[in-house]
Amino acid sequence: MNLCFDFDGPIIDVSDRYYRAYLESLKDTAINKTQILTKEEFWKLKQSRITDFEISLMSGLGVHDSKNSAGDRKELSFKNEFLEQDKLFDDVCKTFEYLKSKKIIFFIVTLRRKKQLYHAIKQFKLDKYLDREYFLGINDDHKITNDIQEKQVLLISAMNKLDLSPENTWIIGDTETDIHAGRLAKYGKVIAISRGIRSKEQLEMIKPDYLVSNLSEVISISHRVSV
């Protein structure tokens, strides 16, 4: 069995980054500070697929300012200074060390651009677990037009590049993009993890093979299946 991880959500905690972008997008607006959402309130809305425009409206902005705020937030969320807000989930290093000790092949497939991905690899010292060829992202100048198709192509490319069988590979992701793309790429199992950008309730609706809240549960499931 091989394991394929999405990056943001399963591996990287992006909640601080998205919340900071939210706060930054409100700076030049005439907003009552008492209406600014707490991080917990904001993240719960994001996980429930409430749009940035709707979140701005809930924060007290009018329609025009909400449109501008939502547009600004999308750009801010992927600026380098905001990417520095990302954190590695506590169980990642322990999980990667375990997988290496058991000689289980694992790799990362993400819609992050390669330059940002490789920066994060160094930032979190993930290169001590995997060689660069096991981190697959999109080209820096590539324009994404369809998330699911793009992810499917990357997942298939990973199989070809690493000479692996999709039927023997599980994908762990936190969005409907990961789950649908994994199925289209004919991966053996699709596992949804609820600590990313989608809530448990949202993920249940797309019926993954398994739904977990952390990586320890992934390891436990793999043990049960392999026995």
Residue 227 has a pLDDT of: 52
What tens digit of pLDDT does each residue of 43-84 get?
Answer: 999 999 999 999 999 998 989 989 999 999 988 998 888 999
Average pLDDT, the chain: 93
DSSP 193: E
Residue 142 has a pLDDT of: 83
pTM over 0.85: yes
